Amino acid sequence: MKWDKMNLAQAIDHTLLKPDARTEAIRQLCEEAVRHQFYSVCVHSGWVPVCRELLEGSGVRISAVCGFPLGANLSEVKAFEAARSADKGATEIDMVLPIGLLLDNRINEVEADIRQVVDAVEGQAVVKVILETGNLNDELIRAGCQAAEQAGAGFVKTSTGFGPGGATVEHVRLMRQTVSSAVGVKASGGVRDAHTAMAMLEAGANRLGTSSGVAIVTGIQGLEAY
């Protein structure tokens, strides 16, 4: 695919997940998303109503994180948060799977956790499942991806940006090889420039989660190879 500023922007979830983010920063995030026509803004659930008002009529969607950033919440708590976010305007939910259960190889419980969130927003929002790949070996990355697809998730995602490491080309490629073409792959964590963004897309990512969206779409103009 030939990437340019416009179609690259449509692969970006413009992200602000800092705990000290204030209203003006959220406003700026939304203004940038509209100006550059990013696919979505990605925010904590508490900011969804604000973003809905700021983005009304723009075509920019809202992604809300869920069980973030640890994934250790009760499944019913995650499901409730996801459902409330969807009710208030989020069309995508970026949930963190239960990392400890995955490390314990309790795959059925991991799948059940994801399924509760998927079921809670059925018909309203697409679920992206964050694996936190920096904690996992290749076998567990494959297992987490398979559990997400079996549970009905629409995407698998590398990282929260708050855990060890971030997205790598190797992990993105492994995730793309593990899930079917019906499931997207989102690279998130450390994607801060156009060169890194293009490497993730070439490895098989369909979406990028980044707080550096403006720098990325500006930088793509200098990458003649793409």
Q: Is 18 a catalytic residue?
A: no
* pLDDT for residue 223: 59
* pLDDT for residue 130: 98
Which listed residue (78, 113, 128, 157) is catalytic?
Answer: 157
* pLDDT for residue 5: 79
* More confident: 113 or 224: 113
Q: To 10 degrees, what angle do helices 194-202 and 169-178 make?
A: 30
What is the pTM assigned to this prediction? 0.96
Confidence of residue 180 (pLDDT cuts 50, 70, 90): very high
* pLDDT for residue 1: 66
Which listed residue (13, 94, 113, 128) is catalytic?
Answer: 94
Q: Domains along the chain?
A: 5-222 (3.20.20.70)
Question: Cα 71 vs. chain centroid, distance in angstroms?
Answer: 14
**Token digits of residue 194:** 């156009």
Task: Please name every residue paired with 187 in a beta bridge, in sequence order, or none if there are none.
Answer: 208
Task: Give the Cα separation of 25 and 89 in Å (integer).
Answer: 19
Query: What value does the mean pLDDT of the chain take?
Result: 96
**Token digits of residue 154:** 């629409």
CA distances from 20 to 23, 222, 225 (A): 10, 33, 38
Output phi, psi for 191, to 5 deg: -90, 95
Task: Indicate the SS3 state at residue 207.
Answer: strand
The sign of the dihedral angle between the CA atoms of 134, 130, 7, 43 is negative
Task: Indicate the SS3 state at residue 30.
Answer: helix
Output phi, psi for 72, to 5 deg: -95, 5
Which listed residue (13, 78, 113, 186) is catalytic?
Answer: 186
Angle at alpha carbon of residue 131, lines to 195 and 63, rounded to 5°: 70
Among 17-31, 52-66, 212-226, where is mean pLDDT lowest?
Answer: 212-226
Task: Give the Cα separation of 65 and 63 in Å (integer).
Answer: 7
Task: Give the Cα separation of 174 and 142 in Å (integer).
Answer: 8
User: 20 burial class (0-12, 13-18, 19+ CB within 10 angstroms)?
Assistant: exposed
Confidence of residue 226 (pLDDT cuts 50, 70, 90): very low
Q: Read off the amino acid at residue 182.
A: A
CB-CB neighbours of 223 under 10 Å: 14
**Token digits of residue 174:** 């492994």
- Read off the pLDDT of each residue in 120-124 and give the average, rounded to a whole number: 98
- Read off the pLDDT of each residue in 91-101 and give the average, rounded to a whole number: 98
- Read off the pLDDT of each residue in 182-209 and give the average, rounded to a whole number: 97
- Read off the pLDDT of each residue in 75-99 and give the average, rounded to a whole number: 98
User: 19 burial class (0-12, 13-18, 19+ CB within 10 angstroms)?
Assistant: exposed
Indicate if the pLDDT at residue 89 is higher than 90: yes
Query: Residues 124-174: pLDDT tens digits?
Result: 999 999 999 999 999 999 999 999 999 999 999 999 999 998 999 999 999
* pLDDT for residue 208: 98
Task: Indicate the SS3 state at residue 88.
Answer: coil
Q: Percent helix, strand, coil in the chain (nearest 5)?
A: 45, 15, 35
